[in-house]
Amino acid sequence: MSAIGELAEITGLGTGPAALIGDRELADGAPIPVINPFTDREIGATREAGTDVVDEAVAAAADALPAWAQTPPAQRAAVLRATADLIDRRGDRIAALVTAEMGMPTTLSTATQQALPATVLRATADAAESFPWEQVADGAIVRHVAGGVVAAITPWNMPVHQIIAKVAAALAAGCTVVLKPAEATPFDAALVRGCFIDAGLPAGALAIVNGTGPVTGQALAAHPGIAHVSFTGSVRAGRAVAAAAAESLARTTLELGGKSPAVVLPDADLDAVVPRILTSGLVNSGQACNATSRLVVPAAHADHIEPLIDAALGRFVFGDPTAPDTTHGPLASAAHARRVLDRIDETRRVGARVIAGTGERLSIGDSRSFVSPIVFGDLDPTATAVREEIFGPVLVVQYYRDVAEAITLANDSQYGLSAEVWSADRDHALEVATRLEVGQVKVNGVRTRERPAVPFGGLKNSGYGRELGSAGIAEFTEIQAVMA
């Protein structure tokens, strides 16, 4: 049996600390249960870190900052590479914890919460070694220097990857970090921190404070000792984080989700393309900020496209997320499943046509968190399902008559995170890509995880700033010009 198989029934993890600061574990704060959404059982609990605990974490990071900032970039890169090696070795345990915490199938958690984080760490190390730390401009030395103590506030849907994307770049820049992981996924965060410390990172350079957004997250974002807040989450929460950070003029990087279009041009191979779009749109049961939740497709091919959508849904396997043949697990919680079902019911009430799927709660084991996918058509462009991020297995088809209309439909959104373009003519696809109002465009099936040094981030209400690669490192630096 694989290591993940042996860990399929992760329970009894106990109550974790409110914070990990240096070599100390702080046990203060009210317990917060962590529920496995497949078994519907508590696997452990975390604690709520209050203002005093956040103060201690920020103070420790500030104390560690001067020495880490003065560490040569090559040495900082070496720590990142050593961390990647440890994540490779300990990754089965980390991936299994993610599956237990939020229901991600182990096949996906292994790829995105074990292999991808190690890849990002190594790519960030490479970027740190080639980064232009000093340049000359008009006779002045222009230096990129560490920006200070960073608050990293990460979500539950891709927990380890999001931690690494933020923490690796901040550490590469010479910053120290206080991490607040989502309260639903605290255990994997502790293991990841352990990898950094065992790889040689000074213990004070990375602290963890656990708790909820309104309590711990708010205290961290508003803390006057924080120089930069990097946040991933909803638009509503992002606005609150930005407002809290503004009180001390801390800089912010915000990645706030999307309603990403997949633009299928008329010459695309529909038989090959449509199933791939459904896979990317429903990855992690639709709980991905860059999921292609809007299919922008040619109306002339509707009779061909809709049976392909129905057939593609029929190939998905819902079930035990630790089983190797499961493609889709439960949503992250019963409460989140209820919110998604409410959105589906609302969409039905406004007269949407169901193209494929049922959008119903599935009865699988003891779980209350499974929702079957559904694909809607014939929706007004102002409908909630077209405009808002549902963060579940809900897709919308939008038909166009010509390419100009396809671009208009794709850009008619408050979000601007990501998009896909599909065409048999790569040059045509690239030309259309340049006209889309998003931060990242993937042409003909390129996946984000395949390009770990490519900047990721959005426009409009998808936020601002970039993660990954040299652009991600630059987010956490300040520029000093020395003139002589």
> Active site includes 9?
no
Q: Output the six-digit token pair for 247.
A: 């009180």
What secondary structure letter does DSSP report for 303? H
- Active-site entry in 183, 255, 420, 467: 255
Q: Distance of alpha carbon 355 from its chain centroid, rounded?
A: 29
Which residues are marked as active site?
255
